[in-house]
Structure 1
Amino acid sequence: MLKKVLFFCFCIFFTSTANAEIKEFTNSFDNMKCIYSLSEKTKVQFPKFFIFRKLIRPENTTYYISIKNNNDVSKMLSNFEDIKIKIDDGILYSCPTTISTLSDLTTQATILLDDKIINSFANTQKITFQIPVFMERSSIIESYYHIELPQPVLAEWKQVIAME
């Protein structure tokens, strides 16, 4: 009986903390190493997933976050302004944002992170995104969607930053 209870507790703990996944590969064309964390995909929630990517080249290292929208009617990502990141409810960064249309109904935003933002991630406890969106597919009225990054995903991003 005790073994069953321990096994049950282990399963609950594991499923509640396994929200993202770290992968890495090397591009043999230019020897660039890519390390990334892909958050768990959701069916209904916005965003569908985050990808935190670290690209290691001989001359530099760059970091990107991609945010995928899965909703084809509302909360379409807006290209009128950049995504903002707030660190620990204090420091605010505006990040260069590229919106790419993957098909007629889905969009993805990718933001480039500078060294100042990456350095602030090391000690942060909370990251909140302000994502500009159109509230409806045919709307010209822009609004914002605020999302706090889940703690397990933030922990994986910190692991990606530390990896070489």
Structure 2
Amino acid sequence: RINFVMLGASRRSSLSLFNNCSRLFGSSFTPRTIVVQHELKAKEAAEPAMRVNWKEELASLSPEIKEELQTLRNEDPFKNSLTQLAKKHSLTRRTVGAVAKLNADNKERVISADIYKMNPSNNWKGPVHYRKIRTIQVEREEYDRKREKLKQAKKNIENAKANATLV
């Protein structure tokens, strides 16, 4: 037993403190199980829609619609995104992507915008600058790969010389 009076508390407060402590530790905790039953709403109860086969969807498109999708997508790829065109023509995004391929300039603009969205900064110089930097980066990676290959070849030759026996 702890003597609460020795801790500097009065007799009355020490008694109430002891009672509170014994009340806290006197009974064990018994978990109570609560059962909750959820009811399905009509929307959730409906079966999910079957997935659309995009190849069949692509084959069923008329040439006029394909041409329209292509021109709309290349006019303004930001306003006429895959999602927007898919909603407008009630197609899947994959079908629209297969039909309406972006030309090189628009593809570069979209990639550049996506990169800028990931890391917006004040020193962004646009897609042309990005393409130059990316080209330099690819050249450096290729140069590093060649250098590693040469280094490995030299190492293999040295190992072969060291392990060779003179006849």
TM over 0.5, shorter chain:
no
Give the helix-richer structure, 1 or 2. 2
TM-score (norm 1): 0.21
Q: Higher RCO, 1 or 2 (CA under 8 Å, sep at least 6)?
A: 1
Larger Rg: 2
Give the strand-richer structure, 1 or 2. 1
